[in-house]
Amino acid sequence: MAMSMELKDVTVKRRGKAILGPIDLNLGATGITMVIGPNGAGKTTLLKVLHGVERVSDGTIDWAQPADIARQGQAYVFQSPIMLRRTVRQNLAYPLQLVGVSKSEIETRVTAWAERIGLGDALDRPAPRISGGEKQKLALGRALIRDPDVLFLDEPCANLDGRSILDIEALLLEAHASGTRIIMTTHDLAQCRRLASEVVFLLNGRIHEQGDAMGFFANPKTVEAQSFLKGDILL
Amino acid sequence: MNEIWAGILSAFRLIFALDADLVEITLRSLQVSLTALIIASLIALPFGTWIAIRRFRYRRATIATLNALMGLPPVVVGLIVYLLLSRSGPFGVLGLLFTPTAMIIAQVIIITPLIASITHQAMRDLWAEYHDLLISLNTTNRQRIITLIWDGRRALLTAALAGFGRAIGEVGAIMIVGGNIDHATRVLTTAIALETGKGDFELALGLGFVLIALALAVNFAIHALTKTEREGRW
Ligand SMILES: Nc1ncnc2c1ncn2[C@@H]1O[C@H](COP(=O)(O)OP(=O)(O)OP(=O)(O)O)[C@@H](O)[C@H]1O
Ligand SMILES: [Mg+2]
């Protein structure tokens, strides 16, 4: 069951400088939220704060349940995929082993997910040796295999070709349809239009706009969002 | 020249005839160095892993000390262990001087910093790579350490082998604390030194070949391990 998340007055500082915030953010229990903004806006930092793995200098985060229980139901796909130095099969199995799923159940789920991410033939290859795009798919499969309540994705489609992007979007929509709350970042505005139910627009560590996707694209309220959508380079 | 050839030939004859002295000395060498290796590994592998993933107050100082200890001349280690174990020393009552145990103690002191240091480097890199994922997956401390040790097992084995190589070839420290006593504390390196001094090149060369074979085996093993690591074969 997905949970709502609430940030109050959250600031992340590194070396005395605020790289995120202060921000307030309320995320409902359903939908696909897209976090967009230029490089260095703080998208990755925001996602990690929401996941509870980023040290916060100020403010509070509320998951409507204790932090570690909330994290147990969350999965995170990192901007650059982290591969365990094991086979594709063992990478998929790892999150399940951690929570003590039975061997036969692991076997079934791993085989099924390998097929879904198009790595059915690569199960016994060492994960660090597969291609960049395959790593991204594997990271997604490994995140979804525990059927998370909330899924965070940091640029899951960067460097992928059209075919792979559609494959991944299909998996995301499927997960969403079966009740997974999705919060992701992207640089691809077309993808944002295709998937988002809600948009959070970040600039210089601050939330400039948050609202439902239709409204955001039809009628962006801030000047910055308007020029970002036009493709202007924001400084 | 002929003499040397004759020496090499009789050395091989000793090896293939499983000469009693040669076998005894080889087995003692292995026994001492393998025991030292096991003890040193039990200390160094967890310790090296621990300082790689744990932030604590004197971490930098600990690592610097470790590296300094690695450069400790074995002869000096031998001298210190000798003083500690000698009759008037603090542990004199144990009567360990000139026993295999004394040699094991000296070797443990010599190779523990080496194994810990190699372990630390390998585990630090692996932890940097895995950190975000393991935190994100909400792993317990235990699960983290098991994952790191398992995925870093080749590097750990390499560290252990390097320690064994250093232990088996070491002569200064064990000569001092072991005393090179026949049928008691004589090992490959000290026997070679003695036989060479006596002019008995047959046995010295025979023992030398055994030592070389052991050292080569260790080096091949390390090479094979680092190669599979680099090529990412599992
Ligand atoms: N550990 C850190 N120390 C100092 N500055 C940091 C640190 N981590 C991130 N930053 C800075 O914080 C800002 C936000 O970083 P973040 O990674 O969240 O941006 P982003 O929106 O994800 O960018 P991108 O689109 O390039 O992925 C950047 O200016 C970055 O340089
Ligand atoms: Mg980022």
Query: What confidence score (pLDDT) does residue B231 get?
Result: 65
Q: For a pLDDT cut of 90, what percent of chain A falls above it? A: 81
Q: Tens digits of per-residue pLDDT, A80-115? A: 999 999 999 999 999 999 999 999 999 999 999 999
Q: Which chain B residues have a beta carbon less than 8 Å from that of A67?
A: none
- Average pLDDT estimate for A5-33: 92
> What total of structural domains would you count in chain B?
1
Q: For residue A202, how far is its CA from the centre of ligand 2 (angstroms)?
A: 12
Q: Which of residues 147-166 of B touch A (CB under 8 A)?
A: 147, 151
ipTM of the complex: 0.92
The pTM of this model reads 0.83
Q: How confident is the model at residue B201 (pLDDT cuts 50, 70, 90)?
A: confident
Let me know if residue B234 belongs to a domain: no
Let me know if residue B231 belongs to a domain: no
Instruction: Give yes or no for residue A4 having a pLDDT over 90.
Output: no
Please give the C-alpha separations between residue A187 and each of A119, A192, B58, in angstroms, as whole numbers. 26, 8, 43
Delimiting residues of CATH 3.40.50.300 domain(s) in chain A: 1-73+148-235
Q: What is the CATH number of the domain that holds B60?
A: 1.10.3720.10
CA distance A193 to chain B (A): 28
Let me know if residue B14 belongs to a domain: yes
Which atom of ligand 1 is closest in space to residue A202's alpha carbon? 21
Element (H, E) at B91: none
Show the domain range for B83.
2-226
Query: What confidence score (pLDDT) does residue B179 get?
Result: 93
CATH code given to domain A1-73+148-235 = 3.40.50.300
**Atom 28, ligand 1: which residue's CA is nearest?**
A40
- Average pLDDT estimate for B207-234: 82
Q: Tens digits of per-residue pLDDT, B100-143? A: 999 999 999 999 999 999 999 999 999 999 999 999 999 998 89
Q: How confident is the model at residue A183 (pLDDT cuts 50, 70, 90)?
A: very high
